[in-house]
Amino acid sequence: MSGPSTRAPRAGEPVLIVDRLRAYYQMKYFGIDREVKAVDDISLTVNRNEIYGLAGESSSGKTSFIKTIAAANRPPLNVVSGSVRFSFLDRDIHALSQEQLAATRWKHLSYIMQGSMNVLNPVRRIVHSFVDFASPHLSLRKGDFQFAVEAHLKRLHLEPSVLRAYPHELSGGMRQRVTIALATICKPEFIIADEPTTALDVVVQKGVLGMIREIQREMGSSILFVTHDMAVHANMTDRLGIMYAGRLVEEAPTAELFANPLHPYTRHLIQSLPRIGDTSPKKALEGTPPNLSAPPPGCRFHPRCPLAMDICRREAPELATLRPGHRVACFAASPAVGPTGSDAPAEAA
Ligand SMILES: Nc1ncnc2c1ncn2[C@@H]1O[C@H](COP(=O)(O)OP(=O)(O)O)[C@@H](O)[C@H]1O
Ligand code: SF4
Ligand SMILES: [Mg+2]
């Protein structure tokens, strides 16, 4: 049984709406309750036919966030509040039964996890993964199913002979291509990809990224594309969200974000990118990412921020729209507060 589908959205209409989502790891540690606030009050929208990128350093909560969106979170990672709504479901994804979720996965929503071996069964030939995941959704007779799988592989420039291979017989890049073929064979409306090319060398990475773009254009699906690699975002994504310590701190169309970053953390991420001919030393961000079981009060970035003001230590900035389609959570970017406002930092005065 499927989660009841609603009408298909037109290009530009939202496919995913996440509203004030909080998801915490809730554990007992030597008898004491401990909460890691990995996803803390995130709201965002992904439209039809767009690639939305999510960036941020390691441990900023990217994987926890997308696991929660896909309802692939398991205890101790629990949804504390907020909602996750897809256009092809008539209710919050967390309100679906396990049966309805199974009917939604692969057909409407695919999740390409970090490391293809999570999906491919290591002791069975690749063809069995296609049969297990795709045949319940495609409702084709055996011969037709085989034909459809081979045609899909060919469209993605893969030889049908990979179906007879065991995962360990393929290179890392080839395995990731097979995983993407598996994730797209049912033409899902929404694809979530978590660091899909991080483990691959640069040349192979380029091929796999090209393949994802090609198939997205062809199918018109939406992709939530997660990587810490800003150079990949610059080449792949239409819009980009920056996560820091469990929160979304900036969001804009990718070109606008690179041309006009408003959050000090985003500026740091962009300035750290290597540029041809630039041999100047890159300044590392001082300090370490905060402990998410006891995050700093106010703006979570304030202990590392060169622009921190008094207000930043007391209050958490809201994500506010400061330019068309450009949201940022930073007092220094707000015209009412700084850096020309009354609470300007000593360094910027
Ligand atoms: N199974 C877990 N139990 C407790 N804390 C976890 C677990 N997995 C991740 N975390 C914590 O959640 C935070 C976010 O991690 P994660 O979502 O993996 O970030 P990212 O994908 O950006 O690297 C980190 O502080 C991490 O230590
Ligand atoms: S709100 Fe304050 S501490 Fe946070 S990023 Fe902006 S200036 Fe820095
Ligand atoms: Mg991760």
Cα–Cα distance between 30 and 43 in angstroms, integer? 34
- Using one digit for the tens of pLDDT, what is the confidence trace for 153-202? 998 889 999 999 999 999 988 998 999 999 999 999 999 999 998 888 88
Q: Is residue 347 very low, low, confident or very high in pLDDT (cuts 50, 70, 90)?
A: very low
Cα–Cα distance between 11 and 191 in angstroms, integer? 16
Q: Give the orientation angle of helix 172-184 with respect to helix 126-138, to 10 degrees.
A: 10
Q: Is the pLDDT of residue 343 over 60?
A: no
Cα–Cα distance between 57 and 328 in angstroms, integer? 17
Q: Is the pLDDT of residue 349 over 80?
A: no
In the predicted model, what is the mean pLDDT of residues 135-154? 90
- Using one digit for the tens of pLDDT, what is the confidence trace for 248-262? 999 999 999 999 999
Instruction: Give the pLDDT of residue 141.
Output: 86
**Residues whose CB is less than 8 angstroms from the CB of residue 330 and which lie 6 or more positions away in sequence, other chains included:** 249, 250, 262, 263, 264, 299, 317
- Tokens standing for residue 11: 């290009």
- Using one digit for the tens of pLDDT, what is the confidence trace for 26-70? 998 888 999 999 999 999 999 999 999 999 999 999 999 999 999
Q: Is the pLDDT of residue 312 over 90?
A: yes
Residue nearest to atom 3 of ligand 1 (CA): 25
Using DSSP, state whether 272 is helix, strand or coil: coil
Instruction: Give the pLDDT of residue 286.
Output: 83
User: How many Å lie between the centroid of ligand 2 and the Cα of residue 343?
Assistant: 11
Instruction: Give the pLDDT of residue 2.
Output: 44
Instruction: Give the pLDDT of residue 85.
Output: 98
Q: Using a 6 Å cutoff on CB, does residue 61 contact ligand 1?
A: yes
Measured from CB, residues less than 6 Å from any atom of ligand 2 are 263-264, 299, 301-302, 305, 307-309, 312, 317, 330-332
User: Of ligand 2's atoms, which has the minimum distance to the CA of residue 312?
Assistant: 2
User: How many Å lie between the centroid of ligand 3 and the Cα of residue 59?
Assistant: 7
